[in-house]
Structure 1
Amino acid sequence: MKNRIAFKMKLKEGQKDTYFKRHNAIWPELKVLLKQAGVSEYSIFFDEETNTLFAFQKVEWGFSSQDLSESPVVKKWWDYMKDIMEVNKDNSPVSKPLKEVFYLE
């Protein structure tokens, strides 16, 4: 069974092109890790007016990419992205979960 999760993050001003460039070259080991964590779909959308990133994931029930915070690959990715995103003290992106209010299947 699949679970859908959504969350938002924020880019620093003027970092759109850098963010797109880095994500277009996402590391293969990070892709593998996400798949192993039960993520079958992962989309990120960008709102240019607010620099907000909206992320959507479809994951195996009971799994979440948000549970990968101790992975060396994830920590390395956070360090790589910290200069262009709003981040927490551990360099993880500031992320706010979003509540699903409508779904049409």
Structure 2
Amino acid sequence: MKILLPLDNSKLIVLNNSMQILDMLNLHTQPRSLKSSISICLELRTQLLQKAIKVRQKDKTFILKLPYYKADALWQFLKEFEIYFPDDFGSYETNAILIMKNELHKQLL
């Protein structure tokens, strides 16, 4: 089962910026319930960075097709680690994250 997440270049940049915290997280200090989600998100971050390079000059909407387990891990990450997102996130970034969380939650139910 694939989860479809509509994105554009701006939302992809916001998502990649929010996932920067993964570079600094120590996996061993995280609760056991989040370790698998974090490791899946580390893999997903690499894919999203590659996607950002491919679409950086294009300004159109695209659909990111995620397997269920990756979509669930991303939703868990966006929900649990929101407090660690960069302080310079403005209203656009906050709304973009909220839209992505809602879209993922709606499809994961």
Compute the TM-score of the two structures, normalised by the length of structure 1.
0.40
TM-score scaled by length of structure 2: 0.40
